[in-house]
Amino acid sequence: MYLYSEFDTAFLAERNAQFRAQVERRIDGSLTEDEFKPLRLMNGLYLQLHAYMLRVAIPYGTLSSAQMRQLALLAEKWDKGYGHFTTRQNIQYNWPKLRDVPDMLDALAKVGLHAIQTSGNTIRNVTADHFAGATADEVADPRPYAELLRQWSTDHPEFQFMPRKFKIAITGAEADRAVIKAHDIGLQLVERDGVLGAKVLVGGGLGRTPMLGKVLNEFVAFDDLLAYLEAAVSVWNQLGRRDNKFKSRIKITVHELGIEEIRARTEARFAEIRPEFRGADMELLERIKAQFAPPAFRDGSTAGFESAYSNDPVFRSWIDTNIAPHKRADHAIVTVSLKAHGATPGDATAEQMRLLADLAERYGHDELRISHEQNVILPHVHKSDLPAVHAALKEHGLATANIGLISDIIACPGMDYCALATARSIPVAQQIATRFDELKLEHDIGHLKIKISGCINACGHHHVGHIGILGLDRAGVENYQITLGGDGTETAALGQRTGPGFAYDQIVPAIERLVYAYLDLREGPEETFLQTYRRLGMAPFKSALYDEEARADAA
Amino acid sequence: MPRAYTPKIVTANDLLEGDVIYLTADDRWSRRMAEAELITDEAHAQLRLLDAERQTDRVVGAYLADAQAGESGPEPTHFREDFRRRGPSNYRHGKQETAPQPRA
């Protein structure tokens, strides 16, 4: 885990003191809202439908137990006893009062957390594979580089007033769990001739104009990478469409100029600035790396685990869905579902956060991760501890065995909270999860990712859901469009629209028809929804969605 | 013939709490939409909006929202304003957890 240096601590204290004074001046009337708004947004404070919202960055999704406890404290002391984990590895508090926010930021600073650049036209929280450092399939742990990027991008003077926001995701593995192709820049660590570097993707993004990232460079060695990224961002910073918000993201610039032109300009700029990078970044990276050294893994028998697995069907089911292979055979990566059937995806109560912190401390080398899929991960658990971890989770409503299944839904806050939303998404997720739990079909259906956004900005990643749902306002009524075949992994694809949308009370039955069609069409239980869709295409699903609806209307 | 003016209310968020508030005919800010002044004249609506926007030390983001007369006061015509007056649907938070009372 990265520990703040004196510089980091002093920087944050000063920044928080500035914001405290700005809040005071807003309250006493010396600042108008127009003057205050950009200042509060720079510090992660939004005003939403019903209240302020504070968005706190969880850098590359990594938390210590002390940090998780502090997040719980904030939830309890200044919010309504819970927090909402987002698709960008942030946590959002939905009910802070303006006067309390400076105290909240001071409390966060005590454990090395902040809300800087969680809004605004800056480089946002750098996200990473939530299995980083634990998974067997990575070239290297991407988090030291992510931390270097966090330090580089925080308050970077050139990148504070960009055409639009800018999102970077990084993974160390070929298997993409960080959706790198849907980011402004996606980085995949690769090794070439013994030298560590990254494949650089550019111009991915969802939202109004969804696009998958294109390869800007197959390999940039770590020595060159920071200068190369600075070059790429600066090229867009000059060219990006500040005149039109809908065309301002780098994906449009790449699309309009072509990847070759962007590459040529990046190379030219890189040649100009590379000499200014004299190796301080690499020295810093080495120091950061030392702080991400693997924990002292424990040897020990896994017999207790094997016997619990054979004897306890509930435990077995949870292991089969929620556990991923660790780089050490006697350890496991545990994904704790924040998607109990009928609950709000990504919400955790203060009590649940404290339990997770305790479990991390006792069984997990003090580490926690937040995934972009809005779940919590204990990345390093010895298998012999899994029965105890499971028992503790069960007591706190955290043992739902549904990772990767139909009820493990990503949903943005939607019109229940967000001022930009055009429809609700949370209740749609709740109803789908509840319905398929009633049908007891979830495990039979198998791997299926549903992702729901409450507006075209696509915070719920609907374009890359196997089934995507987009909530819109159609003539003053909530209406939900369905897309099929999206995929956010290394085989990334954008979903295709099925046709006309469905009313709020018709969307769950529509999803049910789709799923029954899949169960009829699949070649066997091992063929996933996405595979069936790829084999057969849209037609049979469209027919299930609309022909049956037409028959029902006629009857 | 000019189109009939859709009645409006003035609504905003409370500066300190962030809560949804409504401008009343007697120049208070109420948390209840039913207490809002229902404005049927376009020129008057613009004046009332200016009144609201001047109160920068109390309210944020004042705007005119469509509304209609109901049995106990103005009611929303669009679901967004309906959610704003009620609160989120996943928890009984916001206006759903406390007795309505005037603010600001």
pLDDT in tens, A199-235: 999 999 999 999 999 999 999 999 999 999 999 999 9
What does the pLDDT read at residue A197? 98
pLDDT in tens, A432-487: 999 999 999 999 999 999 999 999 999 999 999 999 999 999 999 999 999 999 99
pLDDT in tens, A386-440: 999 999 999 999 999 999 999 999 999 999 999 999 999 999 999 999 999 999 9
Q: Which residue in the block uniquely carries the two structure tokens 């209609």?
A: B68
d(CA A380, CA A364): 5
pLDDT in tens, A49-67: 999 999 999 999 999 999 9
B101 located within any domain? no
pLDDT in tens, A164-201: 999 999 999 999 999 999 999 999 999 999 999 999 99
Number of domains in chain B: 1
**A416 contacts B83? CB cut-off 8 A:** yes
B77 at the A interface (CB within 8 A)? yes
Chain B residues with beta carbon closer than 8 angstroms to that of A47: 13, 18, 60-61
Cα distances (angstroms) measured from residue A168 to each of A13, A127, A232, A412, A486:
26, 7, 12, 19, 21
Q: Do residues A57 and A116 touch, judged by C-beta distance below 8 A? A: yes
**A52 contacts B90? CB cut-off 8 A:** no
Class of domain A6-109: alpha beta
Q: Chain A to chain B, count of Cβ pairs less than 8 Å apart?
A: 75
pLDDT in tens, A145-155: 999 999 999 99
Test the A interface: residue of B31, B68, B91, B103 with most A CBs within 10 Å = B91
Q: Of A76, A84, A34, nearest to A55 (Cα)?
A: A84
The Cβ of residue A208 has, within 10 Å, a number of other Cβ atoms equal to 14
Domain with CATH 3.90.480.20 in chain A: 6-109, 304-395
Q: What is the maximal distance between C-alpha atoms in chain A?
A: 75
DSSP state of A427: H
Q: Which of the four pLDDT bands, split at 50, 70 and 90, describes residue A555?
A: low
* Tokens linked to A105: 């930021």
B99 located within any domain? no
Chain A residues with beta carbon closer than 8 angstroms to that of B60: 33, 47
Query: Is pLDDT at B103 greater than 60 in this prediction?
Result: no
d(CA A130, CA A117): 21
Chain B residues with beta carbon closer than 8 angstroms to that of A473: 79-80
Query: Is pLDDT at B92 greater than 50 in this prediction?
Result: yes
- Give me the residues of B, 1-30, that contact A with CB < 8 A: 13, 15-20
DSSP state of A511: H
What does the pLDDT read at residue B99? 53
Query: Is pLDDT at A264 greater than 80 in this prediction?
Result: yes
d(CA A122, CA A157): 10
Does the domain at A304-395 match CATH 3.40.50.150? Answer given as no
Name which of B20, B77, B88 is nearest A417 (Cβ-Cβ).
B88
What does the pLDDT read at residue A218? 98
B35 located within any domain? yes
> Each residue of A462-489: b (16+ CB within 10 Å) or e?
bbbbbbbbbbbbeeeebbbbbbbbbbbb
Chain A residues with beta carbon closer than 8 angstroms to that of B15: 26-27, 98
Angle between helices A259-273 and A250-257 (to 10 degrees): 110
Q: Which of the four pLDDT bands, split at 50, 70 and 90, describes residue A1?
A: confident
Strand duo A376-382 + A82-85: pairing: unpaired
Give percent of chain A with pLDDT exceeding 70. 99
Name which of B57, B83, B94 is nearest A415 (Cβ-Cβ).
B83
Cα distances (angstroms) measured from residue A496 to each of A61, A178, A282, A537, A538:
30, 22, 43, 10, 8
Residue A37, C-beta contacts closer than 8 angstroms, at least 6 positions apart: none
Residue A329, C-beta contacts closer than 8 angstroms, at least 6 positions apart: none
Alpha carbon of B78: minimum distance to chain A alpha carbons (Å): 6
Class of domain A134-291: alpha beta
Q: Which of the four pLDDT bands, split at 50, 70 and 90, describes residue B102?
A: very low
pLDDT in tens, A2-14: 999 999 999 999 9
Q: Which residue in the block uniquely carries the two structure tokens 């374009």?
A: A463
Give percent of chain B with pLDDT exceeding 90. 87
What does the pLDDT read at residue A75? 98
d(CA A255, CA A209): 11
Q: What mean pLDDT comes out for the span A300-319?
A: 97
* H-run or E-run covering A349: strand A347-349
Query: Is pLDDT at B104 greater than 50 in this prediction?
Result: no
What does the pLDDT read at residue A196? 97
Range of the domain at B36: 8-88
* Tokens linked to B24: 């009343």
For the domain spanning A418-554, the CATH number is 3.30.413.10
Query: Is pLDDT at A274 greater than 50 in this prediction?
Result: yes
d(CA A383, CA A315): 13
* Tokens linked to B4: 């009939």
What does the pLDDT read at residue B1? 57
d(CA A1, CA A364): 13
Q: Which of the four pLDDT bands, split at 50, 70 and 90, describes residue A508?
A: very high
Which residue in chain B has the smallest CA separation from A37? B60
ipTM of the complex model: 0.93
**B19 contacts A97? CB cut-off 8 A:** no
Query: Is pLDDT at A496 greater than 60 in this prediction?
Result: yes
Q: What mean pLDDT comes out for the span A490-511?
A: 98
